[in-house]
Chains A and B, each alone.
Chain A
Amino acid sequence: MTSPRGQHGSRLDPWTHSYARRTAGMSTSEIRALFAVASRPEVISLAGGMPCLTALPMETVADTIAHMLKTQGLTALQYGSGQGDPTLREQILDVMALEGISAHADDIVVTTGSQQALDLVTRIFIDPGDVVLAEAPSYVGALGVFSAYQAHVAHVTSDNDGLVPQALEERILGLKSAGKRIKFLYSVPNFHNPAGTTMSLERRPQVIEICHRHGILVLEDNPYGLLGFDREPYAAMRTLSDEGVIYLGSFSKTFAPGLRVGWALAPHAVREKLVLASESAILCPSAYSQMTVSTYLATSDWMAQIKVYRELYRERRDAMIESLDVLLPQATWTHPDGGFYVWVTLPEGVNAKAMLPRAVTERVAYVPGTAFFADGTGQRNVRLSYCYPEPDRIREGVRRFASVVQAELELLETFGPYDATGRGSGPSTGVQFPAPDLS
């Protein structure tokens, strides 16, 4: 029927066979495409984690930046220190002091968002096959970094009080007996993304002690710690161990993510390697962004602004929880007392990823739970974010979401339990998360 087969066709990419193995998961996906619709105003996005910048006094910020450029432009637009602006590093000490951290500015490395700090820490510690322990579920952006460095992620059971110490101990013992090399524990202890939970004060020393005993570093990622609604911030895990914890912080949620300014506070020897790794990646973090943040911290009442954010997010959290209470009796969810996210568990058998197309048709977007696990679990889970839409939109979004869940339950009732592992056009390895600019 055909002319001789076996000749080579076109793959539309002449470098197909040249890519590193770690790019294997970097494909497009149905899920990613569906998120494209979320950028339209008709769609209520409960998917993204964009801070609500309308609460910023933008004119004041603009004046501050303009003044900074006029007076310090030659420095702000020049290369800077690989470790970060010394003045900003001193100011970061003041920010961390709110969570009880006492440190030295020399041990801070300023990074392009805390995401880059995450990348740097992973780069200097992980060889392919090394194990990273992480909460179940865990921040999708961290899972992406760990995957890029070919780490094996081992999830540890978490509940409403955060990581479960006994589960951590058992997981470590199991991995060690299997001959695995565990490099660090990655944790978001406060107002977890995506779970919305906070590790209890009681558990924090237990987790530190277990990791210390097994020679495992703790990577404490704390972008939301100052955004608690009902209490003062908990003391950071870093306060319990200077040498055993690398602490990551960020101005993305307390000021503005567009500036991309975060930091790592690390033990001295680790810090030296982080600086070298950062210089090889980016030479230096943006001097302009750092000086903008530094000027903002020096000239504005940034603590008052954080209070504004807290009140705004508390109101939105309330709108979401109240709506879920009324509209989604079949499900359970976490009750965050800070941060951006509610973690919803849908009834048995529901596949949140597969029902996303219907959600898009109903003009609501969310992130399916599978994005937050390295092992494909989380099918019944959904992350809903309340940080960006206004309360009325949140209420309408939850109403739409509930109708989507109801339709899925009706399908489940019709077709019964089924094996959902191959659902859709095959298990996708593509990116299962919206682009950062999609709210």
Chain B
Amino acid sequence: MRHVLVLAGGLSHERDVSLRSGRRVADALTRSGLEAYVRDVDPTLLGLIRNSRPEVIWPVLHGASGEDGALQDVLGSLDIAYVGSRATACRLTWDKPVAKALVGAAGISTPVGMALSHATFRELGAPDLMESVIDSLGLPLAVKPARGGSSLGLTIVRSAAELPSAMVTAYAYGDITLIERFIEGVEVAVSIVEDAQGQAQTLPAVEIVPDSGVYNYEARYTAGATEFFTPARLSSSTAASAAAASLTAYRTLGHQHLSRVDLIIDSDERPWFLEANVSPGMTETSLFPMALEAAGIDATGVYATLVERALTTA
């Protein structure tokens, strides 16, 4: 019986989501016949890993503690197989402006944007710089921390008066803020998972229609607050182009095993890359398990396959 250590929790802003995701992954692995248990990331972890030597580690960590590549570097140095993308891919993805630049260079549309630090606003003067940003990008804008997930710190800015508040909100989560032109359209998430042979497969796109109009934290994690259409109500050609764009992002960023790519489909059927996630949410309201279910794929089997893939690709 495989011995799998699922890491969840950590000290990030997304600790709560990670704990919920981790428990669900461990439950699914247990149902598939593996010996899986959940551990928090704390100062006792490395000692536990050295002593118990799990065959595979699955970091179901959201936020900096699990998605910025540092933990993956550590796991690599311990020579233990783990599920998910390698450290470099994590770093490229974790930094949203970097990910956008790489995916954009690969030919996928991504909203024009600027990544600005608080120091930049201080040096250049906030009123002038904010005016310049709006002149350049127009309105509405999506303002969010350059690093982080679960839409924490996200504000959709529809008037110039709302921008200062949005900036301060985003800076509460980190030093760099990404300001993007907001693309009106259908919001979809495309999950990608490797099969037993290592072929990356796209799952049916999930269309997201939040009651509040913004897919923020509350809309993500309050059951009933968002309506999901799976598969998304896209024509077959649009669905295919969304899947192709997602796969391009997956490969460009060097992802491995599993991933989720967030897109907007505009009125011209063009997919716009927003961001990608090396550790997609696995909670009861998360998009990755929803896509598996829509595809008629049993999550327990997929997760067990990913454990085997981790051993193969270690």
* A interface residues, Cβ below 8 angstroms from B: 1-5, 7-13, 15-16, 19, 27-30, 32-34, 36-37, 40, 42-43, 351, 354-358, 360-361, 363, 408, 410-412, 414-416, 418-420, 422-426, 428, 430
Contacts and interface: CB of A to CB of B under 8 A. Distances in A.
A45 to B, nearest CB: 13
Contacts of A42: 11
A416 B267 contact: no
Nearest to B285: A12
The 5 closest A-B pairs by CB, nearest first: A425-B216, A36-B16, A16-B224, A418-B164, A9-B229
Given A29-B218, A414-B118, A1 B267 contact: yes
Interface string B205-248: 00101001010111001111111111011110010000000000
B171 interface: yes
B224 A13 contact: yes
Given A357-B13, A418-B165, 15 more contacts: A2-B234, A9-B229, A12-B290, A13-B223, A16-B223, A28-B218, A29-B218, A40-B11, A40-B42, A414-B122, A414-B126, A423-B166, A423-B169, A424-B155, A425-B155
Nearest to A357: B172
Contacts of A428: 218
A1 B241 CA distance: 12
A357 B152 contact: yes
B131 interface: no
B153 interface: yes
Contacts of B183: none
| Interface size, B (range) | 35 or more
A2 B234 CA distance: 4
Contact of B223 (A11, A34, A415): A11
Contacts of A11: 223-228
B3 interface: no
Nearest to B221: A28
Contact of B233 (A7, A418, A423): A7
B24 interface: no
A243 to B, nearest CB: 44
Contact of A12 (B16, B17, B118, B224): B224
A10 B290 CA distance: 10
B168 A422 contact: no
A425 B230 contact: no
A19 to B, nearest CB: 8
B201 to A, nearest CB: 22
Given A3-B234, A412-B168, A423-B165, A30 B152 contact: yes
Interface in B114-162: 118, 121-122, 126-127, 150-155, 161-162
B269 interface: yes
B195 interface: no
Contact of A3 (B15, B118, B235, B290): B235
Contacts of B230: 9-10
Nearest to B265: A1
A252 to B, nearest CB: 26
B306 interface: no
Nearest to A10: B228
Given A2-B238, A4-B233, A9-B207, A356 B172 contact: yes
A153 B268 CA distance: 49
B298 interface: no
A412 B168 CA distance: 8
B313 to A, nearest CB: 32
A306 B159 CA distance: 56
